[in-house]
Amino acid sequence: MQLTNDRLIKVLVVDDSAFMRKALSDMIGSDPELTVIATARDGLEAVEKVIALKPDIVTMDVEMPRMDGIEALKQIMAKNPLPVIMVSSLTAEGAKVTLDALELGAIDFIPKNLSELSVNILKIRQHLVDKIKHIGRKGLVLRKRQKTTVIEIPQYRGERRISIVAIGTSTGGPRALQEIIPALPKDFPVGILIAQHMPPSFTGPFAERLNQLSQITVKEAEAGEPIKPGIVFIAPGGGHMRVKRKRLLEPVIDIGHDSGEGIYRPSVDALMLSVVEFFPGRSLGVILTGMGNDGMKGMIAIKKGGGRTIAQNEETCVVYGMPRAVVDAGVADKVVPLDEIAGEIINSV
């Protein structure tokens, strides 16, 4: 059923390439719930059209003449805050700029991969449309930006202890993790494994950025590494991170490139299901903002195995998809806002 104009999600497409403006507009306009109300060739034009046309959401290229996407994002967030999705190149420099944009208020990003555009047009279109629809309906989740305070670890005497933390997230995850991980102390007593849906060229720079912001050590995971207390391991994009045991020694990280669980790489389910196998009853699963239901199977397994589970609440999620699946499955021990998750993690170890 075609929606009336006042119920359509209005999109502004910003790109200096006429080809990309048309390609993105055609993909977005193919969905009956979306409409491209205008396009812009540079950041200056984008800022003007945001103010004049009041779109629900913007796709923003980074490299443009007159005013680039970063400066346009700064002005939009200052003058007329709304959800902005960055269109980023799949390079190390593109990853760095994208992470800068996420810190400045961009809600998420889509990779600008021209070589894939003609080959996987249907897959790319569906991913783009789903992302715009979920974010456009929710609107901008505004949070107070405050200096992160490291939370002290209280001393517990309970018999039931957590030996590992597994965190899964997708859309909105980088910003959420930048609030959680810097709040953890340097001497956090167990290892933390994170599956964040990201392209391969992005997970390394993202781990470096988190490490710079945090007292706890953060790194991109490598195959064969032992899982140590006080280290956060980010799953490399393009593969699946799992826990395996090397002979009779301590558990180590395995990076696989099989089909894994579902369509996502890295897969949250693949990570969590392996964690349950090696840490039965001693696992903490945390699901943050993201589209789809990746992580639901893993959280069910953690809960059934006697571990603990935490889900981010709807109000603070950019997209309440992955946490909703866990909550609807009835396996979330706690459903809490983003600013309380670090404390809940610490209280569980």
Q: How far apart are CA 16 and CA 61, in angstroms?
A: 8
CA Rg, the chain, in Å?
Answer: 20
**DSSP 8-state symbol, 183:** G
Query: Per the residue annotation, which of 197, 201, 240, 267 is the catalytic one?
Result: 197
Query: Per the residue annotation, which of 170, 214, 283, 348 is the catalytic one?
Result: 170
Active site residue 201: no
Pairing of strands 334-336, 308-312: parallel
Q: How far apart are CA 34 and CA 30, in angstroms?
A: 8
Q: Are 272 and 302 in contact (CB under 8 A)?
A: yes
Active site residue 134: no
Q: How far apart are CA 137 and CA 106, in angstroms?
A: 16
Q: Torsions phi, psi of 124, nearest 5?
A: -65, -45
Q: What is the number of other CB atoms lying within 10 angstroms of the CB of residue 249?
A: 8
Q: How far apart are CA 93 and CA 239, in angstroms?
A: 21
Q: How far apart are CA 257 and CA 335, in angstroms?
A: 32
Q: Are 117 and 124 in contact (CB under 8 A)?
A: yes
Active site residue 197: yes
Query: Per the residue annotation, which of 108, 254, 269, 294 is the catalytic one?
Result: 294
Q: How far apart are CA 324 and CA 331, in angstroms?
A: 11
Q: Known catalytic residues?
A: 170, 197, 294
